[in-house]
Amino acid sequence: MLEKDRKRQIEKLRSVCPKCGNKHTARIVYGMPVMDKEMEKAEAEGRIWLGGCCLEDYRYYCINCELKF
């Protein structure tokens, strides 16, 4: 359980934009995901960002300054 909490804390730190410090970032989803209601809701709420079919090293997208990191 401690390992799970530690990973969650690290994930939170990584999701802060290194350029502007904004915490409103979205996880980048690559490929062609099945857009069910849950995925559509996550995209509409800004929790995920569709990254397209070409895989890149970026994991997050900053909603504020549009940086991919």
- The pLDDT assigned to 15 comes to 87
Summarised one tens digit per residue, pLDDT across range 31-69 is: 998 899 998 999 999 989 999 999 999 999 999 999 999
Left (φ > 0), alpha (ψ -120 to 50) or beta: where does 15 sit?
Answer: alpha
Output the six-digit token pair for 15.
Answer: 């999701």
Q: In this structure, are residues 30 and 56 in contact, taking their beta carbons and an 8 Å threshold?
A: yes
- 28 in a domain, yes or no? yes
Q: Is 42 helix (H, G, I), strand (E, B) or coil?
A: helix
| Domain span including residue 35 | 2-62
- 67 in a domain, yes or no? no
Average pLDDT over residues 3-26: 80
- 68 in a domain, yes or no? no
* Number of compact structural domains in the chain: 1
Is the pLDDT score of 7 beyond 90?
A: no
Is the pLDDT score of 5 beyond 80?
A: no
Residues 6+ apart with CB under 8 A from 25: 15, 16, 17, 60, 61, 62, 63
- The pLDDT assigned to 2 comes to 67
